[in-house]
Amino acid sequence: MKIIERHESNVRGYCRSFPVVFDRAEGCHLHDVDGRRYLDFFAGAGALNYGHNPPELRERLVAYLGRGGITHSLDLATRAKEELLETLHEVVFAPRGLEYKVQFPGPTGTNAVEAALKLARKVTGRGRVLFFTNAFHGMTLGSLAVTGNRAKRAAAGVPLSQATPIPFDGYASETDSLDLLETLLADTSSGIDKPAAIILETVQAEGGVNVAGDDWLRGVAQLASRHGVLLIVDDIQVGCGRTGPFFSFEPAGLAPDLVCLSKSLSGFGLPLSLVLIRPELDQWQPGEHNGTFRGHNLAFVTATAALERYWRDPQLEQAVRSKSDRVRSRLEQIAADSAGVITEVRGRGLIQGLAFEPTELAAEASRAAFERGLLIETAGPRDEVLKLLPPLTIPLAELERGLDLIAEAVSVACAKRDPAQLVSV
């Protein structure tokens, strides 16, 4: 860590929470340079839904490199890209009755969001975008404009404009956000210009594991359609099976105009993002939006392998549902034993969280978990939520062990508040 501290920028974050040097990883485990093994309930902030180094994906990648397959291609046509596009349509779109054109905007999630916002503005001829309180959509300027966190917005150093926040589902108990949204869109004197798009996450991951109800999501989609506003769903962290189905919006029956995907899309932790575009909205001129690393063929190879391995049948989705029920049951018991320190259990699928009061105890629980060999991060506007993101493929025994470690860590956090309230584990 001394080399990291001496040479890497102060902007580094996660390595401050997990201050060891990691060397290798397999499945749901990381190993540091001293040989200690850690159970991973962090999963690359949701970029490793299938765990570290999935064997089938690794073998496909090694074979591709071994035959001299193309690694970088801008937007040239390659066999790897053809295979990914064909597999996406066959395995993901067709079974769900969805029809999308696919844009490769660049390697990261914020690239996808920027491209989606830009296209929505081009298609509609309008500039404003509506977003939701506690949203997180990325760290570049367009994405920051539709992100709620004050500290992250302030780091931009310039005004963030052409974006208006609306209360998320359940954000303010006394406010019906759908009624408010309808009023603002319908009233020509509301002071809000008719927007190009509404962008949302079905589960606000970084925002605190806030879950939108299916009725609310349908209501937003219906409002957008009625007023001629495009709907963008950011499925970057909670897509690719994190909530169970491939897309998090499937249970609500949505067919968004634009969908942003990244993180676990490559299946291997390799950078890859996509914008899925309703065909009639694909109004780009050639080269109008581009990027040097939009042709990352290694990620195309592993993404194709992941779709073939995990999404040709319903087994993974069913496993996530079953594991989700077990996680929810244990977290509710941990919350009940916390003497009021844990105020809420949140989440869907295998993104779930424990909300703490006092808020700083979530970070205490994360530190205590790491000391016991478990990586788990915090989320929310005050880092008040201990957020679980285990690999979807985690064996049940390791899932249970991680939940046991969380119970121990919560016990330690509770003791920081008042030793007399130490919970039993």
Q: Which residue has the tokens 């099976």?
A: 241
Residue 425 scores a pLDDT above 70: no
Beta bridge partners of 31: 24, 37
Q: Which of 160, 150, 159 is nearest to 129 (CA)?
A: 160
So what's the pLDDT on residue 9?
A: 87
- pLDDT tens digit string along 373-402? 999 999 999 999 999 999 999 999 999 999
Angle between helices 315-336 and 396-417 (to 10 degrees): 20
- Hey, what domains does the chain have and what are their CATH numbers? 2-54+314-421 (3.90.1150.10), 58-310 (3.40.640.10)
Q: Which residue has the higher pLDDT, 354 or 10?
A: 354
- pLDDT tens digit string along 180-214? 999 999 999 999 999 999 999 999 999 999 999 99
What is this structure's pTM?
A: 0.96
Amino acid 9 reads S
What's the order of all strands across the beta sheet hosting 377-379? 342-348, 351-356, 385-388, 377-379
The Cα–Cα gap between 86 and 118 comes to: 26
The Cα–Cα gap between 209 and 34 comes to: 34
Least confident of 48-62, 236-250, 316-330, 405-419: 405-419
Please state, rounded to an integer, the average pLDDT across all residues of the chain. 96
Q: How confident is the model at residue 418 (pLDDT cuts 50, 70, 90)?
A: low
The Cα–Cα gap between 180 and 75 comes to: 43
The Cα–Cα gap between 98 and 219 comes to: 20
Distance of CA 276 to the CA centre of its chain: 16
- Please state whether beta strands 203-204 and 210-211 pair in parallel, antiparallel, or not at all (unpaired): antiparallel
The values of phi and psi at residue 375, to 5°, are -90, 120
Q: How confident is the model at residue 350 (pLDDT cuts 50, 70, 90)?
A: very high
Angle between helices 214-226 and 177-186 (to 10 degrees): 0
Q: Torsion angle of alpha carbons 112, 114, 119, 125, nearest 10°?
A: 160
Tokens representing residue 323 in the block: 């594991």
CB atoms within 10 A of CB 62: 10
**% the chain with pLDDT above 90:** 92
Q: What letter does residue 163 receive in the DSSP assignment?
A: E
- pLDDT tens digit string along 123-174? 999 999 999 999 999 999 999 999 999 999 999 999 999 999 999 999 987 7
Q: What letter does residue 188 receive in the DSSP assignment?
A: T
The Cα–Cα gap between 113 and 199 comes to: 9
Phi-psi region of 193 (alpha: psi -120 to 50; beta: other; left: phi over 0): beta
Q: What angle do CA 47, 399, 331 make, to 5 degrees?
A: 95
Is 133 in contact with 164 (CB distance < 8 Å)?
Answer: no
- pLDDT tens digit string along 289-325? 999 999 999 999 999 999 999 999 999 999 999 999 9
DSSP-assigned states of every residue in 65-91: HHTT---B-TT---HHHHHHHHHIIII
